[in-house]
């Protein structure tokens, strides 16, 4: 049997059983074509979505997200003009301002959910996908990917965006609100992370990690 044939056989075997993330029922997956979706027989939750080039697409969205993240943090999100004074704010300065206003816990939450976790997700995902694609995994690849999956829900850019919109509406009568280029990049970053989450099928990554010789999962 050729190496390719062996790899396909291993992939088929590792994909043959899967636990439902919603009800924990372990069930056997059928052979699937690109575009097909397997659902849990008990709760109808999506078990596996067979996508073409899912890892390449996820990598493209992660790199795009990283570029947008850098732009979002380089320039002010908003500028407020009132009585001849102008106040600008970036993601980081928001956290620092809260800390200086003696709200350290809120400052830490903002820092973690809008900067640390999204940046960790983007850098970690790019690192793991690049290693998988080039077959250069090491003993840290699988633990890192497991860590990324566990912290996936902690990025809360959407909620921060909602808070910005509420603030803009409330401050609209008191000051001139000017949207910065970072705000547009921030909106696109939220979209990129959503597309990344949709494109990245963790089972594809786990199967590739299992197929590559020497990986301990
Ligand atoms: Zn289920």
pLDDT of 130 higher than 90: yes
Instruction: Give me ligand 1 centre to Cα 38, in Å.
Output: 11
Measured N-to-C along each axis, helices 157-171 and 181-199 cross at an angle, to the nearest 10 degrees, of: 150
CA separation, residue 20 to residues 8, 17, 56, 82, 189 (Å)? 23, 10, 25, 54, 30
pLDDT of 172 higher than 80: no
Measured N-to-C along each axis, helices 104-111 and 91-100 cross at an angle, to the nearest 10 degrees, of: 170
pLDDT of 64 higher than 90: yes
Instruction: Give me ligand 1 centre to Cα 40, in Å.
Output: 5
What per-residue confidence (pLDDT) applies to 67?
Answer: 96
Instruction: Give me ligand 1 centre to Cα 39, in Å.
Output: 8
How far apart CA 217 and CA 206 sit, in angstroms, is: 8
Instruction: Give me ligand 1 centre to Cα 46, in Å.
Output: 8
How far apart CA 84 and CA 2 sit, in angstroms, is: 74
Instruction: Give me ligand 1 centre to Cα 30, in Å.
Output: 16
pLDDT of 197 higher than 50: yes
pLDDT of 80 higher than 60: yes
pLDDT tens readout for residues 14-63: 456 778 888 888 888 887 788 888 899 999 998 888 877 888 999 999 99
How far apart CA 27 and CA 81 sit, in angstroms, is: 60
Q: Is 177 helix (H, G, I), strand (E, B) or coil?
A: strand
Instruction: Give me ligand 1 centre to Cα 27, in Å.
Output: 9
What per-residue confidence (pLDDT) applies to 128?
Answer: 94
**SS3 annotation, 32-60:** CCCCCEEECCCCCCEEEECCCCHHHHHHH
Q: Where are the domains of the chain?
A: 1-50, 53-211
Instruction: Give me ligand 1 centre to Cα 117, in Å.
Output: 29
Architecture of domain 53-211: Up-down Bundle (1.20)
Residues with CB under 5 A from ligand 1 (ion): 20, 22-23, 25, 40, 42-43, 45
Instruction: Give me ligand 1 centre to Cα 146, in Å.
Output: 21
Beta bridge partners of 164: none
Instruction: Give me ligand 1 centre to Cα 43, in Å.
Output: 4
Q: Which residue has the higher pLDDT, 90 or 171?
A: 90
Instruction: Give me ligand 1 centre to Cα 93, in Å.
Output: 44
What per-residue confidence (pLDDT) applies to 1?
Answer: 42
pLDDT of 155 higher than 60: yes
CA separation, residue 138 to residues 71, 119, 141, 163 (Å)? 31, 22, 6, 41
Query: Percent of the chain beyond pLDDT 90?
Result: 21
Mean pLDDT of 127-156: 86
pLDDT tens readout for residues 83-105: 777 777 788 888 888 888 888 99
Instruction: Give me ligand 1 centre to Cα 138, in Å.
Output: 33
In sequence order, what are the residues at sequence separation of 6 or more whose Cβ sits closer than 8 angstroms to the Cβ of residue 21?
45
pLDDT of 116 higher than 80: yes
Mean pLDDT over the full length of the chain: 82
Buried/exposed code over 185-205 (b: 16+ C-beta within 10 A; e: otherwise) = bbebbbebbebbeebbbebbb
Confidence of residue 209 (pLDDT cuts 50, 70, 90): confident
Whether the predicted model's global pTM rises above the 0.85 cut: no
What per-residue confidence (pLDDT) applies to 6?
Answer: 42
Instruction: Give me ligand 1 centre to Cα 17, in Å.
Output: 13
pLDDT of 5 higher than 50: no
């Amino acid at each position: 049997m050729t190496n390719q044939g062996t790899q396909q056989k291993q992939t088929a075997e590792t994909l043959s059983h899967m636990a439902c993330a919603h009800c924990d029922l372990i069930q056997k997956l059928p052979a699937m074509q690109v575009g097909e979706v397997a659902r849990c027989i008990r709760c109808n939750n999506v078990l596996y979505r067979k996508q073409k080039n899912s890892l390449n697409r996820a990598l493209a969205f992660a790199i795009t997200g990283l570029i947008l993240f850098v732009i979002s943090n380089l320039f002010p999100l908003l500028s407020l003009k009132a009585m001849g004074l102008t106040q600008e704010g970036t993601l980081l300065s928001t956290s620092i301002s809260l800390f200086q206003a003696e709200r350290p816990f809120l400052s830490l939450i903002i820092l973690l959910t809008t900067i640390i976790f999204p940046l960790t997700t983007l850098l970690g995902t790019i690192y793991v996908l690049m290693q998988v694609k080039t077959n250069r995994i090491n003993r840290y690849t699988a633990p890192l990917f497991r860590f990324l999956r566990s912290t996936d829900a902690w990025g809360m850019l959407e909620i921060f965006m909602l808070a910005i919109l509420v603030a803009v509406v409330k401050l609209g009568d008191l000051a001139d609100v000017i949207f910065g280029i970072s705000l547009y990049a921030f909106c696109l970053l939220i979209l990129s992370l959503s597309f990344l989450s949709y494109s990245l099928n963790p089972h594809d990554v786990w199967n590739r990690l299992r197929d590559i010789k020497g990986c301990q999962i």
